[in-house]
Amino acid sequence: MGRARLFALFSLLTLTGFITTLDNTVINVALPTVQRELGLTVPDLEWVAASYVLSFGALLLPGGRLTDLFGRRPVLAAGILVFTAASAAAALADSGGTLIAARTVQGVGAALVIPASLAVIAVDLPARLRATAVGLWTAALAVALALGPVVGGFVTQRWGWGWVFALNVPFGLIALLLMPAVPGRSAPRRGGLDVPGVLLSVLALYLLTYGLVRGQEHGFGTAPVPLCLGVSAVAVCVFVVVEARTARPLVELRLLRDRFLTGGIVAQVLWGIGVNGVFFFTALYLQRVLGFSPTGAGLAFLPLAGALLLGTPVAERAARALGAHVSIAGGLCMVAVGLLYVSAAGARAGFWDLQPGLLLIGWGSAFTTPLTVRSLDRVPEAGMGMATGLVSAAREVSGVFGVVLVGVVLTRRESSELRSGADPRDAFLEGYDLGLRLAACCVLAGAFVTLVTLRRRGRHRRVVARSRSRIPLVMK
């Protein structure tokens, strides 16, 4: 593969990761303007914010299976086309119903893009370049999360809320123009789609995501949150039974017998819980307590993204020298220390006071990128889309669960402090400190899981893919 083609392929993968992640947060700052101009109720506004996340998370498993059935390049192209068209529809929406529908279809496109793009990294890139691709993609995700409020606020104030979605259109067209860089040699597999498995997985993931999002906003005892979570649990149990008996499963359960895969997913979830707590609640802390503007709050995270990008090449060398399980665990420990540092910054911190902790989080996250190669080391190429859909779904749910878990701890501690007569700002700080300490404990647990499950038998030589059957697991 020539340099020009490699550059185009890297650009395509980085661009798709950026725009699909940006849509998770870019709308938040624009919501008051959307409500005013479209005359939406509060429930309508909640659906505008959540519809993308719900359809995205619920359809990742089917997206991975479709990648196996129809090939990586066709599914990736279809996902980009759907996402771009839905973005244009959202930009032109003149009612709440149209906007919610367009946001839902955006999530469908993203659910096709993510598993297919991960499979491209795993199969179509040379083994020596996969860690670089993982680092670039992960940095793109971090930058997108950081810039979401910045871009949303600037664009809404200058041009109007519709441009928040219209900006996706030129990026999507550029991505489509870069599609020839994706090798077309992936052969579709014979077989059909497991319709019962698709329906059950969509039901379980949709209700789980909706229950977590609504429970965080309105309380977990508020209807219909308990019903959603209960039905989701039942759907998961039925899904496992159905997948164990069907000839063409959506997820081959035997894959989960591999300790590398299971351990990698668990470590990924625990990392996601901690890091998503940083982005979501530290953004609130910067604005509510320290008085940062939305733009300033977003810019505060950019050094973190830079540390992640610069640390990836170092992480690859550390994995070869120490063993991936050691370097990944060390990176997770750095993330945990960074979380503890940021949580203790206090009410008088400034921009530079926070940077040591945020840089530790970014640098430590860079050292976790070899987790991608190690955790799915033994996944066969024929099941690559299936595996990427599985780990992508785990990653997406971990983000939502992280916000919810830290949020519940934060709000309960904050409420307790308020009832004791504490100042509102001090009460928030108490809850914020406790929530991020819990997130740090989750990340440390991930380090332990990594050491136990990802250790190779025999002497460690190199952490590289032994064949074309290696796939990276990218984190958000």
pLDDT in tens, the chain (476 residues): 688 889 999 999 999 989 998 887 788 778 878 888 999 887 788 788 888 988 998 898 899 889 888 888 999 999 999 999 999 999 999 999 999 999 999 999 999 999 899 888 877 888 778 777 877 787 787 778 767 777 887 888 789 899 999 999 999 999 999 999 998 755 556 567 888 999 999 899 889 888 887 887 778 888 898 999 999 999 999 999 999 988 888 888 888 888 888 898 899 889 888 887 777 788 778 888 898 877 787 788 888 878 887 887 888 789 888 988 999 999 999 999 999 999 989 888 998 999 999 999 989 988 988 886 677 677 777 777 777 777 778 877 787 778 778 888 888 898 899 999 888 889 999 999 999 999 999 999 999 999 999 887 654 444 444 434 444 434 44
Q: How far apart are CA 300 and CA 423, in angstroms?
A: 26
* Helix, strand, coil share of the chain (percent; to 5): 80, 0, 20
Q: Quick one: pLDDT at residue 237?
A: 95
**Could you tell me which residues come within 8 angstroms of residue 175 by beta carbon, excluding any fewer than 6 positions away?**
12, 15, 16, 19, 80, 84
Q: Is the peptide bond before 224 cis (omega within 30 degrees of 0)?
A: yes
Q: How far apart are CA 21 and CA 224, in angstroms?
A: 28
CA 88 remoteness from chain centre: 23
CATH class, range 252-476: mainly alpha
Tokens, residue 424: 């509102």
End-to-end Cα distance, the chain: 28
Gyration radius from the chain CA atoms: 21
Question: What single-letter DSSP state applies at residue 456?
Answer: P
Q: Quick one: pLDDT at residue 188?
A: 57
User: pLDDT digit string (tens) for 325-345?
Assistant: 999 999 999 999 999 999 989
What are the Cα distances from residue 472, in Å, to 184, 206, 253, 275, 375? 20, 25, 20, 19, 8
Buried residues in 229-246 as b, exposed as e (16+ CB within 10 A): bebbeebbeebeebbeee
Closest listed residue to residue 403, CA positions, set 306, 280, 321, 299: 280
State which H helix or E strand residue 438 sits in.
helix 424-453
Q: How far apart are CA 271 and CA 252, in angstroms?
A: 25
Q: Is 251 helix (H, G, I), strand (E, B) or coil?
A: coil
Q: Specify the fold of 1-181.
A: Growth Hormone; Chain: A; (1.20.1250)
Closest listed residue to residue 312, CA positions, set 263, 351, 261, 365: 365
CA 392 remoteness from chain centre: 7
Q: Is 293 helix (H, G, I), strand (E, B) or coil?
A: coil
Q: Are 301 and 145 in contact (CB under 8 A)?
A: yes
Q: How far apart are CA 295 and CA 153, in angstroms?
A: 7
Q: Quick one: pLDDT at residue 189?
A: 60
Q: Are 185 and 119 in contact (CB under 8 A)?
A: no
Q: How far apart are CA 358 and CA 374, in angstroms?
A: 26
Q: How far apart are CA 244 and CA 222, in angstroms?
A: 35
What are the Cα distances from residue 326, in Å, to 293, 321, 329, 368? 39, 10, 5, 10
Q: Quick one: pLDDT at residue 240?
A: 92
Buried residues in 110-131 as b, exposed as e (16+ CB within 10 A): bbbbbbbbbbbbbbbbeeeebb
User: pLDDT digit string (tens) for 289-321?
Assistant: 898 877 787 788 888 878 887 887 888 789 888
